[in-house]
Structure 1
Amino acid sequence: MTDSRRWMWLAGLVLFCWLLYLLTPILSPFLVAMLLAYLSDPLVDRLERRKLSRTWAVVLVFGLFSLLLLILLLVLIPMLGRQLMRLYELVPQLLDWLQHQALPWTQAQFGLAEDFWRFEQIKAALSEHLGKTSDIVGLVLAQATASSLALLGWIGNLLLIPVVAFYLLRDWDVMLAKLRGLLPRGRESFVVQLVGECHEVLGAFIRGQLLVMLALAGIYSGGLMLVGLELGLLIGVLAGLASIVPYMGFIVGFGAALVAALFQFGGFELYPLIGIAVVFGIGQLLEGMLLTPWLVGDRIGLHPVAVIFAILAGGQLFGFTGVLLALPVAAIIMVLLRHAHDFYKLSALYGEPGAGSDEPPNPA
């Protein structure tokens, strides 16, 4: 490739990134729809292999997802809503428990000064804030209806997701075939191999990690509710969602469950604390020995620090759209860096001896 062509490709890439940045506010529904289509395509392909047409397979998959969403709306979300309201009601009592039991015990153990926490100021600020937001539902509705155009746009984007996802999923294989037909003939095999590796990483992470998160949320929620924890469902769901980063779900869920148990049972009750430890211990064993090897495998290669950085960087640069794109883009960059590393190890630059070295150059 000549220098002029390289500059043309670079200019085209910069222009594409600039247009993508300008279109960020309207990309969210299309990205969510693309994610749904990508996650659903293997199931649709499996139904096609059972002699079902592509359109009817897509309709069947959409019906299944709609049923699951309906169950979620009718069962899980009201339960979570009640626990959130219960948590809101317990905040003043939690503040009193911290002031009169937890913090004095901590001060006595570590020899801290009486006014070390400045807790009265914190409690006054929180109480004032809670007093202003006594009607949470009314506040949310007021904010949502402050601009009718914004509300209509939000509803329109929400309704656009299933429509776009349906057409993307129906024509998924056709679009992939057309994109493959546009590849340079001399580079087709290499690009297909590269895309296949990216697909393997993305599929393993997105599908596998989502299933692991759902499984852990169910294990933690069911176990904590069996222990008798009042906010067990809410804490279990939060721990499952936080499991997108390895060990983060365990840390967040176990810490929140311990605090909730100490507050609910009025101290260091042995059996609830043992029950919480058993629940999270079983969850970690199942995740490490069964769920992650079975659903995710060892093909991801994304370090936990890279996962955290990708999510924070995506949110900082592109908001919610960046959060949606963060992990897929990070996985693709990881595959590209792996190939760049291989090219570097085979290059003449890597084979050159260092300055002042008497070693002969590498024949590679």
Structure 2
Amino acid sequence: MTLTPAQRQTLSWLLIAAAALAIVWALAPVLMPFLLGASLAYALHPAVERMAARRVPRVLAVSLVVLAAVLGVLALALLVVPILAKELPLLKEQIPLLADRLNQHLSPWLAQFGINVSLDVAGIKAMVLQGLDGNLEDWIAAALSSARIGGSILLALLGNAVLVPAVLFYLLLDWPQLTARSLSLVPPRHRPQVDAFLAECDAVLGQYLRGQALVMLILAVYYALALAVAGFELALPVGVFTGLAIFIPYLGFGLGLVLALLAGVLQFAGWYGVAAVAVVYGIGQLLESFVLTPRLVGERIGLPPLAVIFALLACGHLFGFVGVLIALPLSAVALVAGRRVTAAYLGSGLYRP
């Protein structure tokens, strides 16, 4: 079978794309900090360009933007510290009491259906004391011992904590040159189509980022105020963390829900804490799913829920936690490409009868 020049060119591009995907998949652990740095650079470069347009030296503008990003990430991480500092001691005291309470109320109810369940309160108490009774020095010693033995996870986290800001800094510093060199690699006859495609992708991603930022801000205020009205002592850190963690679809909401349930169970007696969390987070989920995300994000991207779930699972499998972060932006780019391919197919002779 003899291929035409156009078919050979298409086949060559497909082989190059397949090889690139294979390399990315094989080097996913190594590429994670670079992908995260590139994603942050894309999101933050408009701020650098605005500062540079006002004659702020580019090195200074990039340094300020990177410093603000690092401080923002640290502030988000530090939101969890008061939660753990407050709840871990209570957890050690309350878990045996909760197990005993479940034995008193749940076991008789299950016995009516022929299910005999009895929790080993003494064993649960011993396990909790063993896991949570260590002091800070013991935990630090255990972490250092893990690192010496070959704790690759800890070392990888420390390495990424240094590497991601460095990648972000250099990408922002050279962003105009990098984009210009990348575009120069495109054959001149294809540049109008590529420019139009990239412009549409940039518009979709810009709308996504702006919409997602508004959703996060509104939900952070809502959860913090709603939990405060319900009487939660940790309303501010739990509420703000939940709102900001919404950026990670499903996982962020689930983590915030777990922290709120833990705070409610440990602070309040009976079922008030659980009921309050159910009401607050139920309303919050309805507000996000049916009002905020459709109006501020969903309508602009146009991805159905099943496509979002598939994108999260696929990107998470390929790139881990970073893949979950970049799943929706990549899906937006794929959506733009899919629209163009569909339009080309419908206008071609293959579709016409």
**Which TM-score band applies after superposition, normalised by the shorter structure?**
0.7 to 0.9
**Partners of 1:225 and 1:232 within 8 A in 2:** yes
Cα offset, 1:79, TM superposition: 1.2
Contact 1:204–1:299 under 8 Å retained in 2: yes
Match of 2:14 in 1: 10
Partner of 2:279: 277
Change (3 A) 1:210 1:45: same
Equivalent in the alignment of 1:319: 320
**Corresponding residue for 1:146?**
149
Aligned to 1:60: 64
2:119 alignment counterpart? 120
Deviations 1:218-275, CA, capped at 9 Å, x for gaps: 4313431342225545653564366347788778867875786467433355x99579
Matched, 1:42 2:46: yes
- Establish whether residue 344 from structure 1 lines up as the match of residue 345 from structure 2: yes
Structure 1 pair 281/120, CA: closer, same or farther in 2 (3 Å)?
closer
The root-mean-square deviation of aligned C-alpha atoms, in Å, is 3.9
Q: Is the 8 A contact 2:248 2:325 kept in 1?
A: no
Aligned equivalent of 2:243:
240
CA distance in 1, matches of 2:153, 2:274: 47
The 1:161–1:243 alpha-carbon spacing in structure 2 relative to 1, beyond 3 Å, is closer
Structure 1: gaps (5+ residues): 353-364
In the alignment, which of 98, 103, 111 is matched to residue 99 of structure 1? 103
Larger CA deviation: 1-10 vs 142-151? 142-151
Secondary structure of 2:224's match?
A: helix
What amino acid is aligned across from residue 100 of structure 2 in structure 1? Answer: D
1:248-267 to 2 correspondences below 5 Å: 261=264, 264-267=267-270
* Counterpart-to-counterpart distance in 2, 1:262 and 1:154: 32
Q: 1:334-362, CA deviations, whole angstroms, 9 ceiling, x for partnerless residues?
A: 2222222222322333332xxxxxxxxxx
Contact 1:307 1:327 in 2 (8 A): yes
AA at the equivalent of 1:113: G
How many residues were matched structurally?
343
Q: Which residue of 1 aligns with 2:220?
A: 217
Equivalent of 1:192 in 192, 195, 199:
195
Q: Which residue of structure 1 aligns with residue 35 of structure 2?
A: 31
| Aligned residue in 1 for 2:308 | 307
Q: Secondary structure at the match of 2:351?
A: helix
Query: Partner letter of residue 63 of structure 2?
Result: V
SS of residue paired to 1:195: helix
Asked if 2 retains the 8 angstrom alpha-carbon contact of 1:84 and 1:234, the reply is no
User: Deviation string for 1:200-232 (max 9, x for gaps)?
Assistant: 222333453255235423431343134222554
Q: Which residue of 2 aligns with 1:137?
A: 139
Letter in 2 for 1:350: Y
Give the letter for the 2:54 counterpart.
R
Cα deviation, 1:28-75, whole Å, max 9, x if unaligned, reads 1111211221111111122233232322221222333344455556x6
Give the aligned partner of residue 88 of structure 2. Answer: 85
What does residue range 174-185 of structure 1 map to in structure 2 within 5 Å?
A: 174-185=177-188
Contact 1:227 1:276 in 2 (8 A): no
Q: Unpaired runs of 5+ in structure 2? A: none
Distance 1:6 1:275 in 2: 55
Paired residue for 2:207? 204
| Residues 288-310 of structure 1 deviation map (CA, whole Å, 9 limit, x = unaligned) | 6568745x472111222222222
Q: TM-score, normalised by structure 1?
A: 0.76
Distance 1:315 1:34 in 2: 17
Give secondary structure in 1 for the equivalent of 2:320. helix
From the superposition, tell whether residues 124 and 347 of structure 1 become closer, same or farther in structure 2 (CA, over 3 Å).
farther
Identity of aligned residues (%): 36
- What amino acid is aligned across from residue 200 of structure 1 in structure 2? A
CA contact (8 A) 1:92 1:127 kept: yes
